[in-house]
Amino acid sequence: MPAPVSIQKYESSPDSLQKAVELCHGFKNLKPSDRVVIKPNLVAWDDQFPIAPFGVYTTTRLVEDLIICLKDFGCSDITIGEGSVVIKKGIGTAEAFAGLGYTALEKKYGVRLVDFNKSNSKIFTYQGDRELLIAEEAVACDFFIDFPVLKTHGQTKVSLGMKNLKGCLKQKSKRQCHNPESGLEFSFSHVAEFVKPALTIIDGIYALEKGALHFGKAYRKDLIIASTDILAADLAGAKLMGYDGSDIAHFQYYAERTGKSFDLGDYEIKGEKIDDHIQPLKWDWTWTEDNTGPGIFAKLGVTGVALPKYDDTLCSGCSPIANMSNILALSAFKGKPLPKVEILNGKKMQARPGYDKTVLLGNCIIRANKDNPNINQAVKVKGCPPAENDVVEAMKAAGLDVNILAYHGYMKQQAEKYQDKEGYDPALFTA
Ligand code: SF4
């Protein structure tokens, strides 16, 4: 008999979370003496252009509610662990913990904060000899609670419990998941089998369309989804955003290996009726027909330059750089065709013929194109990921008159887009 999944309206703290946990019998295998690890989604931190937190980060409010429920149950050994992506040098998990109120939770409740990027790791293998290095705390605890956010994602369609576990991987393995051979979704779908979450709670106070980081659009939903079965929770979360199990490759990989069903109809749903809360959310970004840039390039008539669409080999470290190059290219457009420059990212794109210069963003794409005969002149931006300034200089060297201030203006606008809007309450991200 598959484990049930609960869908609960968020009305008050900590009662709503407690009800969600009770409805799905979330603590049935928990003992007060257990070493508990909570893994929220604190994807990355940006001190220069603060990421609007809604739908991006697990709300600190619900994490605090969970700590209160665990303490009431008698648990005292509670760790919060995360391995945030470092998109700006020296800015990572510790800054996310501080910025989102977790250091206050540490003081208030005596919980431990662990940066999985700095933990010791254990090695697990999949597909023969492919290795995943997982933070020790995530696999050595007694009761692991996976606490993602309800969101869609430009590479994996949805980012829920299974995707959130990617944050337990060491940096090297996070990057390895984006390898072109086995593919992103197949690779990270294995993490759940090694970490074995005892409980998955999806924070649906906000749902994010086209996450991650700065650019998604958050909607207030006030829902909490919970199950002791990660797949059941993820299937319900996906359905709430308009996706079936058959739409999501990583659900199917996991279901195939574990013998579980990826049909939500085979699971019992308790609490709210799912049909009352479905709001289809888009996941994909549109590109021009000839794959030369985001859809807006066609609308504005941008020609000459080409920025092919990112693929699933682009890892989180390089993803802000890829976005930045799109916005910088737009800043160079003054109504006339731009120089014939192609700009590539990720690990497998191949330069196409017909361009005078090819800008290669990052060590991976430099390697992937080292013998490409289509390249007339390569402008290489080394780094893993490359530094922002180097990207700006490379685009200028390729003949694009880019304006970094236009990029800064755009990022500032993204950081402030929910300011003073009803329902977007920054207090949910403080303790
Ligand atoms: S260069 Fe970029 S795509 Fe390659 S591993 Fe580093 S961050 Fe990832």
Ligand 1 centroid from CA 19, angstroms:
42
Query: What tokens does 297 get?
Result: 């390039």
d(CA 78, CA 171): 24
Query: What tokens does 23 get?
Result: 């409805």
Q: Whose CA is nearest to atom 8 of ligand 1?
A: 315
CA-CA-CA-CA dihedral for 314, 318, 322, 324, to nearest 10: 160
CA atoms within 13 A on the CB side of 235: 28
Q: How does pLDDT run across 35-66, given as a tens digit for each residue?
A: 999 999 999 999 999 999 999 999 999 999 99
Q: Say yes or no: CB of residue 38 within 6 Å of ligand 1.
A: no
Report, as an integer, the average pLDDT of 56-82.
98
Query: What tokens does 340 get?
Result: 């014939």
Q: The whole model's pTM is what?
A: 0.96
d(CA 130, CA 30): 32
Q: How does pLDDT run across 2-13, given as a tens digit for each residue?
A: 899 999 999 999
CA-wise closest residue to 197 among 147, 144, 235: 144
Burial 4-15 (b: 16+ CB within 10 A, else e): bbbbbbbeeebe
Hey, is 4 helix, strand or coil? coil
pLDDT at 90: 87
Q: Say yes or no: CB of residue 318 within 6 Å of ligand 1.
A: yes
Phi then psi for residue 317, to 5 deg, are -60, -40
Q: How does pLDDT run across 201-215, given as a tens digit for each residue?
A: 999 999 999 987 778
Q: Say yes or no: CB of residue 306 within 6 Å of ligand 1.
A: no
Q: Which atom of ligand 1 is nearest to the CA of 317?
A: 7
d(CA 344, CA 395): 12
d(CA 128, CA 146): 27
Strand duo 149-153 + 157-159: pairing = antiparallel
pLDDT surpasses 90 at 88: no
pLDDT at 417: 95
> Ligand 1 pocket check: which of 324, 349, 363, 367 to mutate, most ligand atoms within 8 Å of Cβ?
363
> Ligand 1 pocket check: which of 177, 313, 318, 382 to mutate, most ligand atoms within 8 Å of Cβ?
318
Query: What tokens does 149 get?
Result: 């956010």
Per-domain residue ranges for the chain? Answer: 5-283, 295-400
Ligand 1 centroid from CA 42, angstroms:
20
pLDDT surpasses 80 at 146: yes
Of the candidate CATH numbers 3.40.390.10, 2.60.260.20, 3.40.50.11440, 3.40.630.190, the domain formed by 5-283 belongs to 3.40.50.11440
d(CA 26, CA 38): 14
Q: How confident is the model at residue 89 (pLDDT cuts 50, 70, 90)?
A: confident
Strand duo 217-227 + 269-271: pairing = unpaired
Q: How does pLDDT run across 318-342, given as a tens digit for each residue?
A: 999 999 999 999 999 999 999 999 9
Phi then psi for residue 85, to 5 deg, are -75, 135
> Ligand 1 pocket check: which of 155, 310, 312, 314 to mutate, most ligand atoms within 8 Å of Cβ?
314
